[in-house]
């Protein structure tokens, strides 16, 4: 089954404690991205990757890092989380064609206290 998986699904942490949210897809997609979703705001792109070892900033990259060492994985790293990073995070993947379907993961709800 084609899918994007994220772990953990829920996370409560404290300010400054480094964390990583993993994302994996089994569709051999080149393009992967991370979004955050906050009440009243649309999904906002944090980072994206067009292929292995190719990453770029989205609209709200501050406070986040990513890496793309393998095609299937695209982890999101918060080196020093702060309360304003409390949000619902989604990973997504798709092929390179502009009309290609984008598949979203189930989401990770992060709370930083």
Q: Which residues sit at the interface with other proteins, rule CB under 8 A?
A: 4, 31, 40-45, 48, 50, 56, 88, 90, 92, 98-99, 101-102, 104-107, 109
**In this complex, which beta carbon is closest to other proteins, that of residue 64 or of residue 90?**
90
**In this complex, which beta carbon is closest to other proteins, that of residue 16 or of residue 39?**
39
CB of 46 to other proteins, least distance (A): 13
Q: Which residues pair with 51 in a beta bridge?
A: 54
Least Cα distance to 78 among 25, 33, 20 occurs for 20
Chain position carrying tokens 């709800």: 109
Least Cα distance to 110 among 4, 27, 7, 5 occurs for 7
């Amino acid at each position: 089954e084609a899918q994007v998986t994220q772990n953990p699904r829920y996370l409560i942490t404290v300010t400054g404690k480094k964390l990583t949210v993993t994302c994996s897809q089994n569709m051999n997609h080149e393009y992967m991205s991370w979004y955050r979703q906050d009440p009243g705001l649309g999904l906002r792109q944090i980072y994206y990757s067009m292929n292995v070892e190719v990453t770029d900033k989205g609209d709200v990259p501050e406070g986040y890092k990513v890496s793309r060492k393998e095609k299937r994985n695209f982890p999101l790293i918060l080196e020093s989380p702060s309360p304003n990073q409390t949000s619902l995070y989604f990973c997504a993947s798709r092929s390179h064609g502009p009309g290609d379907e984008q598949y979203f993961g189930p989401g990770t709800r992060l709370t930083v206290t």
